Amino acid sequence: MKNRRWLWAAAVVITLASAVYQRMSGPTYPVRGTVTLGGEQVSLRLTRTHPGAGDQPIVLTVPNTATSGEVRWRRYPTGDAWQTLPLVRDGDSLTAALPHQPVAGKLEYQVRLLRGDQRAVFPERPAITRFRNDVPAAVLIPHVLAMFLGMLFSTAAGLSALARWPQARREAGIAAALLLVGGFILGPIMQWYGFGAWWTGVPFGWDLTDNKTLVAGVAWLWAVFQMRGGRQARTAIMLAALVTLVVFAIPHSTWGSEFKWDSVPAGTP
């Protein structure tokens, strides 16, 4: 029993580490950093996704009232001319709003802060933000829970199989069921609400979120097949768990849905 507790502790740590890495390395995680003006460091945070209707707010905490600035932006990926928006002071903050775009439309942008004759640009390479629809919490929360628990049971199954624990079969079955529900039922519903498409991976596109789910699903389908007739299928379970761990380390939303600007002239709302 003691060993099993250590096994589950390891599974939790591995799963949490993978989830945090995936989130923080993904293209929708906010860009954070600092710039220096007048010998003072200013911490900045720019969001890279905007759900729902309305413009995307930009709010920078810059208490020094001698600081002003602007936002440069354009559609991405295009060769449009850069446009500028003034940053408006509101108490300790400088604010602006990027104009709303079609679902899956992307903008690249960066801020320029001014204090006297000093200027700071952040980030050095423009941040890229994507617009999407809201996803109901009734879909989002079960999806996130199913995927997290699916990864947790997948990792536990792999460790159990490695240690020759008989619980590996049961944990593998639970992992496969959770990944089926989270990735292939709730996942497409999430995609539909957010971007108006059920599936944008193979064979319809190269969305890595969908494609990595597909790879993990195939790995667990093979493992479940190998477990037929009461077989332990240790190798299949360990490989499926390893594949799941590797593919879900790929940052979330990489190569995701992207609006095609070809038929929309520059300057069109």
Q: What is the pLDDT of residues 83-141, one digit of tens each?
A: 999 999 999 999 999 999 999 999 999 999 999 889 999 999 999 999 999 999 999 99
Give the Cα-Cα-Cα angle 233, 236, 238 (nearest 5 degrees).
105
Question: How close are the terminal C-alpha atoms of the chain, in Å?
Answer: 62
> What is the pTM (predicted TM-score) of this model?
0.86
Sequence-distant (6+) residues with CB within 8 A of 37 are 64, 67, 113, 115, 118, 120
Return the CATH number of the domain spanning residue range 38-132. Answer: 2.60.40.10
Q: Nearest Cα to 67, choosing from 22, 142, 120? A: 120
- Sketch the domain layout of the chain as residue ranges: 2-26+135-247, 38-132
Residues 114 and 268: beta-carbon distance below 8 Å: no
Instruction: For residue 107, list its beta bridge partners.
Output: 75, 129
Tell me the per-residue pLDDT of 59-68, one tens digit each, with 9 for 90 and over. Answer: 999 999 999 9
Quick check: helix, strand or coil at residue 213?
helix
Of residues 132, 158, 224, 214, the one with CA closest to residue 14? 158
pLDDT of residue 248: 84
The neighbour count for residue 128, using CB atoms within 10 Å, is 16
Record the tokens describing residue 174, joined without a space. 């639970």
pLDDT score of 241: 97
Length of the chain: 269
Q: Decide if pLDDT at 43 tops 80.
A: yes
